[in-house]
Structure 1
Amino acid sequence: MAQQTQKVNPQFANGNFIEEVRIVIMEDTAQVAATKKEMEDFYKAFFIKPRTIFNPLITDLAISRINEENNVKNAYYEIYESESGSGSVGRSVSIQIYVELTSGEETATKAKGLFSREGKDFPLLYESGQAQFKFLVNAGLGFYNDENALFAQGEAFTQGNPIADDPADEDTRFWMETFVEPGISGISKLGNSNIYWYGEASVLASARNTSDIYSSGSAGHIDVERLYTGFLITGLGKNKDITLNANYGRNFFQLNDGFLFSRYSGSSNAGPRGSVYSSSRTTYQKNGNLSIQWGKFRLSGHFLEPQELFKDKQQNTNYTIGTFNFNNNKNLDAAISYIATTGGKAKYATPNGAIQKKGIYVINPKLWLTNIAETGLFFKSEYAYQSHTQEDMQSYAWYAGLGYSFKNIATNPSIYYRYAFMKGDDANTEDYERFDPILTGGLGNWVQGLNFRKVLGNGNIVSHRIELTSWVSKRMSLSVDYFYLQANQLNNLGGLPPISSLKNKELGHEASVTLKGLLKDHFTFLGVVSYGIPGKGLNEAFIEKTPNWLTVQAAVFI
């Protein structure tokens, strides 16, 4: 690759946007990049191109079809975090495809898999150029230690929270979480057409061994995780460059890098599900997607409803999203999305009483630039104008981030600064102005302070973020993040009860250190240490000064 970036497991990248596709042709000892014509042919043959959604099913079948070519000895791919942007989890990805050629004798292609070759290819169940079915399994084991969690004010911060039967105080909480997700995935071409059917089904079991920062004792839960199906049609139009992709069911979704909709906000994990920190459940319980890719343009529509924690207290809030995107496959990615809250019973408090979330809409333009002026400079920004079809509500939020990656240094260090603004409500105006962050999240992207996120949410926040990232080995990268958090308005109605009204806008500081990478090809390590220091806005909400909050986390994902 042109420079070193973080390699990730394909299952972790499932549902994220593809920012770049590279193909490397290998013959004997020579390695050359695919020509522009070869790249265009690849884009037309497979639905794998920049700004489409990465799906391991589709990519695996594409690699299988390449391997069937007579002059191909072996083909495989690897997934990397994109070179632009920042964040530990949930960012866009790059695909590196390797094609090793041979000049030997032609050999007949044989089907592979558990059902065709005495089980030697397990977990592959069946594979040919027309279809692939495989057994999938994801698992994780994490250890978590928090000192003075919730700034030792757990009872105050969790008022009315049904899962908080033992909220943290000025104490130490140490616990373990684990999960396992077995399932089956498959994709098949329909005859000689350019139509593919695909789908996945899995069950996820999660458990906690003792009290976390909210809930007492152990917990365990088993439920369906993935359950969706869809179809893909390639090679449409006069130039064979139009692709249509549609799916529906329990599936992953993320809009951009999680500013408004994060993959990690698709499902609830706390309380009886025993996965509050490992966040093992990420699929939305209802997720319909339809996208049309035409050259460098993409038009997509989405319907989303997140998985809530208690079946007898469902709010059933759902969203409809339409996005128009342009990507020149080089350094420009621009889009505009329209988001509408189209259903559900959820409400939120205003100075004049509660109003329905149904009816909220957002207009969300985006501009991302990479490799500016052929340097390592990159820029990311989004704006969100928010209003309501039936209520006096107008708000907005935005961010702008500028970063630089030092390409000529072996450890590939980078620096990134981001300013983010999420408006608060001015109680002296008629309109309600507090920005509703919808389903934001994602460790390293839109968790604005790993600890502070649990008490502040994301509304009424002005944040400064500085991130430094570098490689410490061939497989491990180290990131250091610093957040300075302030409130936009002293009126904080909509925040947690102790801080619904602030005396000071200074919320606090948080510094995090993250070590992540592959231990082996199927084992990913994530270690985090984060230290939160409350500012005057938090301290003055309580009689006694709130202590600092330290969390230490270590997890291995399989």
Structure 2
Amino acid sequence: MLFKSALNKKSFLIRGLIVALTTSFLVPSIGQAENILLETTNGRIDELRIEILNPTTDQAYNQKIIDQVRRTLAMYPGDHATEEKIDFNLIQVKKNPALATTSYTVESGVYGGVNIVIRLQLKSDAEQNLEQGILLNKERKVFPVLYDANGRFLKAKFELLGMYYANQNAWYGNPDAMLQSNPLIDGKSSGAGYADWVESFIYGGLYGMYPISDNTYSYAGLSAIGSFSTGQELFTDKTRSHLGVEDAFVGVVTGKTTEAGNRTVLNLSAGRERFSLGDGMLIVNTASNGGERAALQSNARWSADFVGKAQLQYNRHRLEIFQVDPDELPVLDTKTIINGINAQTNFQNTDLGLSYLTVPKSNASYYMPEGQKYTREGLKVWDVRAHWNNTVANRGGIFLAGEYAQQTHDDFNMKAEAYSVEAGYSWPTVKYAPTFSYRYAKFTGDDPKTDRYERWDPLLSGGNGEQWVQGINHFKVVQDSNLISHRFQARFRPHQKIELVPQYWIFKADSELNLGGNPALSFLDSKDYGQELNLTFKYFYSRNIYVHGHIAYTKPGEAVKQALNGQDKDWWSTMMFVRYAF
């Protein structure tokens, strides 16, 4: 039974949670929950609402203003938003002569993304555009905006995170077997028994926009991250710290709105920045953490070494061409570069996306059962995805999602596939606003009976536990390759500021040949990887502080038991962090 050993771990859970709670509330409370929520959800927009705080009695006029703002924003469900993108787009919105002020809030969406609410204040005929910013009027209430006048915008950004993480029987209590030849091992790794550590990061940067003409703006961002870890981590017991550049990008955006109200936007950018595709099944983890960089579990870094992109958007339709060079750990650097083209649109409650990727350069290896080895260089990927829901504001409904991708290679016979289907239903007006969903996902393994290579390459898959980190503990052993997963997930909101996300996972291997995965599981005698039950909790304490934690219990399946000769142990983990930003 899944919970057979739960009572034996009571002392571990109590100890972990007490330390987690004590550690988390030592953090001061300054910052914005909006930025934190955008970061932790990857900023995928579930819903975008526009509200007028002081509407006129002319409903047609009110709707006209809302339509104008919506087109100027050029952000739609399915897009990915960042704090900087929203700020920069609101600069365009504020040029509307009918508006006195604009503001926004970000809420947790029922589908794992965010709901963005844009709030507008109409101005009277006597009102004028107001200049603001701490460099202009010294008012602290406008901070972190440093300057905002005549289309010129400069904003500071600062974040601080403190995390406590604990494991009981990490690596199923057998680190020697599960971590053999792992280059991240430095000193002692976690294993049987209780082990814990603390990590943190501090982040600061400046982001600005400057007008080139009435319809064209330049923008840039520059930031740095310092990270720290101490204690018994998964791979090491050594204390580490690291300081490095995070964002360093420049861009230009231009747009035009026709008399009919259609909006065209062209956005070009290049440099170090974060990039994601769809909900992250192919690309989301564009930087690596841990090792010499510390902050293994808090995922401090997201910006790639280089992202170059050109985006053309017409109303709800977007086409983008991009290149991504991920910021990999030096000890694991595969020199991978990914080129791609992506098209997506939104209509009648449906998000549709189509992408094509190529890998012109990479040293990442594919291992064949006959002993040959090929590289990722030459990989080609097709991907199609869709998301549909029939919900409206304050009313629940069904939502459906699906994605299919195929990989081939220029240099050898390869055909790998990945696909997922998800269905769920939400009841936002019912007590605790429950949402229930089921997702089936498959990432093919290599079939030894064919001449073809079928093992799926996960590329930069991941994100968080509600995206493609499949299992809080399990994902550390078996990532998104040669994997079949069943995810049963719920969401509850017992309070406006609290969200609980329980998950139950069943994991299976697609093939018993698992070369390229964890070395201890290279050849399987069973396809049963195991099961996991976890609970994530989110506490939006205020606009100034966000608390996030989990409890996870993973029971190994027959494949793991046999690989470890019956010396396996159930794996527990607890985590809590507090994060603030301004």
Asked if these proteins are the same fold (TM beyond 0.5), I'd say yes
Aligned counterparts of 2:121 and 2:259: Cα–Cα separation in 1 = 32
Given the alignment, which residue of 185, 196, 199 partners 2:207?
A: 185
**What is the CA-CA distance between 1:267 and the residue it aligns to?**
1.2
The 5-angstrom pairing of residues 216-255 of structure 1 reads 216-235=237-256, 240-255=262-277
State the Cα distance separating 1:30 from its structure 2 match: 9.4
User: Aligned residue for 1:396?
Assistant: 417
Q: Write the letter of the residue equivalent to 1:363.
A: W
Deviation at 1:542, TM superposition (A): 1.5
Residue 458, structure 1, aligned to residue 480, structure 2: yes
Q: Do residues 549 (structure 1) and 578 (structure 2) align?
A: no
Q: Which residue of 2 aligns with 1:514?
A: 536
Equivalent residue for 1:497, pick from 502, 516, 519: 519
Q: Deviations over 1:311-357 (max 9, x none)?
A: x76321010111111211x4111111111112122222121311010
The separation in 2 between residues aligned to 1:255 and 1:238, in whole angstroms, is: 32
SS, match of residue 116 in structure 1: helix
Equivalent residue letter for 1:145: A
Task: Find the counterpart in structure 2 of residue 362 from structure 1.
Answer: 381
Partner of 1:469: 491
Find the residue that maps to 1:342 and give its secondary structure.
Answer: strand
- After superposition, the C-alpha distances for 1:233-264 in whole angstroms (9 at most, x for unaligned) are 111678552111111111111111111112xx
Contact 1:70 1:106 in 2 (8 A): no
Question: What is the letter of the counterpart of residue 279 of structure 1?
Answer: N
- Which segments of 5 or more consecutive residues in structure 2 lack a partner in the other structure? 1-31
Deviation string 1:168-213 (CA, Å, 9 cap, x unpaired) is 221211110010001111112223x211111111010000122201
Alignment match, 1:76: 103
The corresponding residue for 1:327 is 346
Alignment map for 1:269-284 (pairs within 5 Å): 269-284=289-304
- TM-score normalised per structure 2: 0.87
Q: Within 2, Cα distance between the matches of 1:448 and 1:531?
A: 13
Residue matched to 2:507: 485
Instruction: For 1:387 and 1:475, locate their aligned partners in 2 and report how far apart those are by CA, in whole Å.
Output: 46
Displacement after TM superposition at 1:109 (Å): 3.2
Q: Contact 2:353–2:384 (CA<8 Å) still a contact in 1? A: yes
1:199 counterpart SS class? strand
Match of 1:163 in 2: 184
Separation in 2, partners of 1:57, 1:319: 24
Q: 1:318 to 1:532 in 2, by over 3 A?
A: same
Deviation at 1:114, TM superposition (A): 2.5
Alpha-carbon distance between aligned partners in 1 of 2:243 and 2:57, rounded to the nearest angstrom? 50
1:293 and 2:301 aligned: no
Contact 1:75 1:97 in 2 (8 A): yes
Identify the match of residue 10 of structure 1 among 11, 28, 35.
35
For the structure 1 residues 389 and 26, does the alpha-carbon distance in structure 2 shift closer, same or farther, using more than 3 Å as the test? Answer: same
Q: Give me the whole-angstrom Cα distance separating, in 1, the residues matched to 2:286 and 2:539.
A: 24
3-state secondary structure, aligned to 2:495: coil
- Tell me if the contact between 1:396 and 1:423 (Cα under 8 Å) persists in the aligned partners: yes
Select the residue among 66, 72, 85 that pairs with 1:45: 72
State the partner residue of 1:256.
278
Matched, 1:111 2:131: yes
**C-alpha contact (below 8 Å) 2:53/2:120 kept by paired residues:** yes
1:101 counterpart (108, 113, 122): 122
Q: Distance in 1 between matches of 2:470 and 2:73?
A: 37
- Give 1:41 shift: 1.8
- The structure-2 alpha-carbon separation of the partners of 1:303 and 1:195, relative to structure 1 and needing over 3 Å to count, comes to same
Candidates 54, 65, 68, aligned match of 2:81: 54
Encode CA deviations 1:274-329: one digit per residue, 9 max, x unaligned.
1111111111111112111113321111111111112x76321010111111211x
Q: Which has the higher helix share?
A: 2
Alignment match, 2:21: none
CA contact (8 A) 1:70 1:107 kept: no
Greater relative contact order (Cα 8 A, min sep 6): structure 1 or 2? 2
Decide whether the 8 Å contact of 1:360 with 1:387 is kept in 2: yes
State the AA in 1 paired with 2:253.
L
Letter in 2 for 1:367: A
1:57 is displaced (CA, Å) by 2.7
Question: What SS does structure 2 have at the residue aligned with 1:242?
Answer: strand
Equivalence map 1:406-417=2 (5 Å): 406-417=427-438
The alpha carbon displacement at 1:8 in A equals: 5.5
Q: Is the 8 A contact 1:64 1:129 kept in 2?
A: no
1:531 matched residue in structure 2: 553
Q: CA deviation at 1:513?
A: 0.3
Q: Which residue of 2 aligns with 1:446?
A: 468
SS at 1:431 equivalent: coil
Q: Partners of 2:532 and 2:579 in 1: how far apart? A: 26
Between 24-33 and 486-495, report the one with greater CA deviation. 24-33
Q: Does the 8 Å contact 1:364/1:384 carry over to 2? A: yes
Contact 2:289 2:329 in 1 (8 A): yes
Change (3 A) 1:453 1:33: farther
Give the Cα separation in 2 of the matches to 1:525 and 1:208: 19
SS, match of residue 232 in structure 2: coil
Residue 405 of structure 2 is matched in structure 1 by: 384
Gapped runs of 5+ residues in structure 1?
1-6
Does 1:206 find its partner at 2:227? Answer: yes
Q: How far apart are the structure 2 equivalents of 1:46 and 1:497?
A: 49
User: Contact 1:26–1:32 (CA<8 Å) still a contact in 2?
Assistant: no
Distance 2:98 2:381 in 1: 51
- After superposition, give the CA deviation of every residue in 1:107-136 in whole Å (9 maximum; x if it has no partner): 443422222123634322111241210111
The alpha-carbon deviation at position 161 of structure 1 amounts to 1.7
Task: Give the deviation of 1:437 after TM superposition.
Answer: 1.2
- Residue 365 of structure 2 is matched in structure 1 by 347
Q: Which secondary structure does the structure 1 equivalent of 2:524 belong to?
A: coil
Q: Where does residue 4 of structure 1 map in the other structure?
A: none
The 3 A distance-change label for structure 1 pair 102 and 245 is closer
Alpha-carbon distance in structure 2 between the residues aligned to 1:552 and 1:29 = 52
Give the partner amino acid of 1:47.
A
Gap change, CA 1:436 and 1:66, over 3 Å in 2: closer
Does the aligned pair in 2 maintain the 1:298–1:324 contact within 8 Å? yes
Within 1, Cα distance between the matches of 2:189 and 2:482?
A: 25
